Amino acid sequence: MYYQRKITDDIFYVGESDRRLDRFENMFELPRGIAYNSYLILDEKTALLDGIDETVSERYYENVRAVLAGRDLDYLIVNHVEPDHCSSLNNILREYPNATMLLTQKGEQFMEQFYNLDYKDRVRIVSEGDQLELGKHTLQFIMAPNVHWPEVMMTYDLTNDILFSADAFGSFGAIEGHLFADQLNFERDWLSEARRYYINIVGRQGASVMRVFKKIEDLGLNIKTICPLHGPIYRTPETVAMILQKYITWASYEPEENGVVLVSASMYGDSQNMNDILASMLADRDVKNIRVYDVSKTPVSEIIADLFRFSNAVFTCLTYNTELFPSMDALMRELTMLNYQNRKISYLQNQSWGGRALKIAQDIFEKSKNLEVVGEPFKILSSVAPDQIDDLAKLADEIAASIAD
């Protein structure tokens, strides 16, 4: 049963939320579910913008039918071909045999690779600047390669200044009644999920995101509403400006705030003890934002989001089978995949009789851009010894001073 959700008088929300899926892309925890957004424009011509994941597609087909109310679908616009948006589309094309599908050349290739595209003869390839007239609405296509896949484009409604932004500006989290960010306490309840989504899903592609922003600026577009493919919609000057500013910060790999994220893996609690002591020392030195995580416990996507949020990090290199503890090794490698950079980092290490954990960690970050190492790596043998407290305090001094710089 469809309950009508309007973006404007003639643009309807037809997306759905999934609260059953455990992990997005089988990687990222979804404690609050996820929304797959899709939009339907009713003009002289009708246009559906993007599909949704097949897991909740039966409801989606109902939504589309209800909004069309017996009208035909003229256009299906596919901004992004990842299966969380396109696994429902062969069925849409089957149900609406007169619909033309608009997507990029690479988008067609991916549709073919994923779905053996049943309706190839109904594809119209679009390129930079192409427009589509629906009647009142004129849509312009903006190529956005690598935000976050190579085939991505965005669609701009020149009539209402609405950017249909594909994955950009998306959030984890199912829709909870309110569709619009201005109806929510966004900073309190949603910003962390928007950040976790961007950093983990799109984070590697900062340069591509900035290129799209430059293109939008060069075109002189005055975005009034942003309709992403996941999470809340931005429709007020305040919320549009807020999320654009966050994206500029995230895409340029600048920290949002000063603060220290201490990440360890601790088998029996001794490395954790070292982290807790250092965190206490930082608190005594007036460091305001301190996060302490065990990488074996907290979902990695949350730790990564905070590592991008704050200016400083401390990584504990625990030796395990002579190598770097596996979950820390995986975290650090994922950070490099996401182009982690422009941060101040420090190392702690713990070993009982040998091993290469610190060297492996340093090698992982060797090619990362602008990671400034603060202080000397601080080493313990199995547990913190009483005569090491002064040395750990020295490292705390150096970290606190690096934040004050």
**Which residues are at the interface with ligand FEO (CB under 6 A)?**
80, 82, 84-85, 148-149, 167, 229-230
The C-alpha atoms of residue 206 and residue 168 are separated, in whole angstroms, by 11
Q: Of 15 and 375, which has the nearer Cβ to ligand FEO?
A: 15
Q: Which residues contact 349 (CB under 8 A, 6 or more apart)?
A: 316, 317, 318, 319, 357, 358, 377, 378, 379, 380
Q: Of 247 and 347, which has the nearer Cβ to ligand FEO?
A: 247
30 exposure class (CB count in 10 Å sphere: 0-12, 13-18, 19+): middle
Which candidate, 88, 10, 17, places its Cα nearest to that of 44?
A: 10
Give the nearest distance from C-beta 66 to ligand FEO in angstroms: 24
Q: Of 85 and 235, which has the nearer Cβ to ligand FEO?
A: 85
Give the nearest distance from C-beta 148 to ligand FEO in angstroms: 5
Which single residue brings its beta carbon nearest to ligand FEO? 82
**Is the separation of the CB atoms in 57 and 88 below 8 Å?**
yes
Q: Of 145 and 377, which has the nearer Cβ to ligand FEO?
A: 145
Q: Of 149 and 293, which has the nearer Cβ to ligand FEO?
A: 149
Helix-helix angle 206-218:237-251, to 10 degrees: 140
Q: Of 25 and 363, which has the nearer Cβ to ligand FEO?
A: 25
The C-alpha atoms of residue 61 and residue 58 are separated, in whole angstroms, by 5
Kindly list the distances between the CA atom of residue 312 and the CA atoms of 260, 263, 273, 278, 398, in Å, as whole numbers in the listed order.
5, 11, 19, 13, 11
Give the nearest distance from C-beta 370 to ligand FEO in angstroms: 27
The β-bridge partners of 318 are 350
Give the nearest distance from C-beta 69 to ligand FEO in angstroms: 28
The C-alpha atoms of residue 275 and residue 260 are separated, in whole angstroms, by 11
Give the nearest distance from C-beta 222 to ligand FEO in angstroms: 26
Give the nearest distance from C-beta 107 to ligand FEO in angstroms: 12
The C-alpha atoms of residue 356 and residue 359 are separated, in whole angstroms, by 5
Give the nearest distance from C-beta 238 to ligand FEO in angstroms: 25
For residue 100, give the 3-state DSSP assignment.
strand
DSSP secondary structure letter of residue 201: I
Q: Of 137 and 148, which has the nearer Cβ to ligand FEO?
A: 148
